[in-house]
Chain A
Amino acid sequence: MTLAEFQDLLAAHGAHLSTWPEELRDRAEHLLASEQAARLCLAEAQRFERLLARHMSVPVKALDAPSGRVLRALAGPLPRQRGWRRFPLSWPTALLDFDLAPARLRIAALAGIAALGVALGLLGPDVGTGDSRLGVALAAADVDLATVFDPEPLTGVRP
């Protein structure tokens, strides 16, 4: 383990080696035993984490009043729960509420359907497209453009 690797591991796993995966901890302890620079890095990381933890600590009392307000707001009648029990009564709602946990499955299903749609669009049979294009071209060839833009014979109105 190099010193740079050790520094990254300190940031990733924290400055308390007891929480590290065992294999990494053994290698780290070996490095610490042999390198003064590693010991300095560890001390610095521990000090930095103490600084963060001290800053992050929230006095419990500071949350008493706001959590009391939250709980009082929830003290009244609660809304109706959403679940499978309504299925026989309201199947459209049950379908709309359908929940495939975890969310990744839903996203994967949606992406799969989209990919299938694109694949069908690109590779699927091109039914009738060629014929219809040909039909439009033939129809256009039959039309005399002069008649299209001529004034209407009775009223004289131009298109």
Chain B
Amino acid sequence: MDEASDEDLMGRIAKGDESAFRLLARRYAARGLALARRITGNDADAEELVQEALLRVWINAPRWRPLAAFRTWFYRVVFNLSLSRRRRGPFLPLEAAGDPPDPSPDAGAALERRETDHRIAAAIAELPDRQHAAIVLTYQEGLSNAEVAAVLETTVASVEALLVRAKRTLRDRLGALAEPHGDDV
């Protein structure tokens, strides 16, 4: 059953097959967490949201119709839940929590890289919700523009416009970091 497609598993889940659900949950828990963490900026919230999203998969499976790939549908559920949670509370990029000091010889370079990551995370986090989502889904999840459009329930042209605006804003905010040789830190 491990090779079964997501859609096949959903068919079995619709008939109440718990083992198919647990297999699908194993496939998607980490992916959902990565997306939810990036949108909410909070690990605990992300775990709670992904658990809820997976439960929704189980509960609503009999009504699910394969109009789109399961993956985009699942991302849409996680994204919508994460967005609601993000709008309820202040957002802190994950990197804001900081890491413990690193005693290794190249700790200076690591620190510099963390600061770079923190700046990028903050710049991305400040983007409007849909631009933020378009960047995360494209560069973290590796979705195509058409898949991002399916997740955000919009058109491909709108996704392209979101990406153009988001990248323009990021370049402005990151300044020298976005210029040539800026990533050589």
Q: Do A and B bind each other?
A: yes
**Contact (A70, B140) CB under 8 Å given A51-B120, A51-B178:** no
Residues of A within 8 A of B145 (CB): 12-13
B96 vs chain A, min Cβ distance (A): 14
Decide yes or no whether B75 CB sits under 8 A from chain A. Answer: no
Q: Name the residue among A19, A50, A66 with the largest chain B CB count within 10 angstroms.
A: A66
Dominant secondary structure at the A interface: helix
Number of A-B residue pairs at CB separation under 8 A? 115
Decide yes or no whether B153 CB sits under 8 A from chain A. Answer: yes
Decide yes or no whether B33 CB sits under 8 A from chain A. Answer: yes
Decide yes or no whether B10 CB sits under 8 A from chain A. Answer: no
Instruction: Decide if B33 touches A79 in the complex (CB within 8 Å).
Output: no
Chain B positions 9 through 28: 1 when the CB is less than 8 Å from some CB of chain A, otherwise 0: 00000101010011001100
B20 vs chain A, min Cβ distance (A): 12
Residues of B within 8 A of A104 (CB): 153
**Which interface class (under 10, 10 to 19, 20 to 34, 35 or more) fits B?**
35 or more
A6 vs chain B, min Cβ distance (A): 12
| Chain A residues with a Cβ under 8 A of chain B | 8, 11-14, 19, 43-44, 47-58, 60, 63-64, 66-67, 69-71, 73-75, 78-85, 97, 99, 101-104
Instruction: Decide if B21 touches A52 in the complex (CB within 8 Å).
Output: no
In Å, the complex CA distance between A75 and B55 comes to 11
Instruction: Decide if A58 touches B163 in the complex (CB within 8 Å).
Output: no
Residues of B within 8 A of A79 (CB): 55, 58-59
Besides A52-B135, A58-B34, A71-B29, 8 other A-B contacts (C-beta < 8 A)? A52-B170, A55-B120, A56-B38, A66-B33, A70-B50, A70-B54, A81-B16, A101-B67
Residues of B within 8 A of A8 (CB): 164
